[in-house]
Chains A and B, each alone.
Chain A
């Protein structure tokens, strides 16, 4: 087994719900991330999938310490980010960068491409002022943009080009880990393919570790080495990408995989589909026991009692379901 670069141990991120204007009363808690254990290996692409509201974006932000953690530890290269001082955290972020979903919102409209890409270089003092322009040009070439666009503003670019700028910004400090939160969901199919290819190339070339978040399973299967499936703040299944998506084990993963329409008219009309009833439950008041039990076809009384932990299922797979042995 290759060595790990990032370890999450029982990570919890809860948000308080308060009511009242002057006197704030605490009336509940949104358990966005609720006990995630995950080890990310050096150089791998880890896909993180789940429906909206399952906590995948909050998990990404928790890894980068953009939201305060409620419990558990995030350890990057042996350094516990949760207990690091601001100064240490700043240093850690050289190794840990993020690409956001919406390239229209994540770039400052008043900063030129040059200013956007130069900022991390100057903040972290990684290159001398006179070399900045050369480094920015290099970064732009790396993501497939012509350096002559350096003085342009984000609005002069298309969505795909903006996402390239956002990727270049994340790469500026030569990080070891990049967290990409739905980097292609806002893009059209033909542009999506360009960005996926770019990310795949860069990961190989720069020996990056990539945490790739998406709700589109076919995209995740394409790019990832391993996939983690989240449901209501917890990981329910983890394994090699092709295994998880072609032979899902957890009842939720099965339903999720079967819900994806496939672009093949022959199989699409005949295949058996598992249509889940209802919506994902609210993370404010999650069901007791296994959070999936109200929608699960295999649920029994024991599923309502305790939340199942991730258990090994074969050498490369982990599944959180107490009835795993009984499943067909």
Chain B
């Protein structure tokens, strides 16, 4: 045993400790500061943005802002119709994208045979996630607004948004389903369970936290999207609340976009207040996603 150790020790050349160490240490410090710099840069930009928005927006952020319709006078302008419009749109987008997205993910992960065809579907879903949102707007305009004659309605907007976030939801749900340990599925099958029983009773409960997290994050992307809705013709000035799925509507980012486009400076401050509301909504949704992830994180 000792002899072996001796030979192995001898077979390694003695390293030049001093010179190489100092070089490596300099490099180490250099890269560390480089990475800190990269992080600091984006944090700084975010901070400047937030400070600007908050200083401009806070004076306009009061109860009236939430209860008023948009107005020609900046002091009276409010976000009510846009806020309610966003909620209406989410009420369409959330269930539609959840059902379609999770359904697709279950099919691809649990039922579909792994062949060229499913590989093609898989590749296309990943590609769709990268398609510019304006293209989804065009698609929505053609299919929902014109072909299906839904008009510039909440329904058409919500469905267009579902299409937009569907790829994200599918991919997130697939990952959550794939993370369910195979032994659990085996145990279920070995007791004579059918595929659906196994999926419903074992796979879905275990994958649900991941699926929900993915859904919420995708929805928070939909809340901030403007382009596809402008494309399908959501209104920019709405002084009424949507009454049903076929009502016309506007949403928060469009309202904000509209305000920032006004020449009067006061409206830019109103826009800042709107941005604050939107940011808080996004923050809330993301917190819920993180909370769900932490609460239901299971060890297998």
Co-assembled chains A and B: no
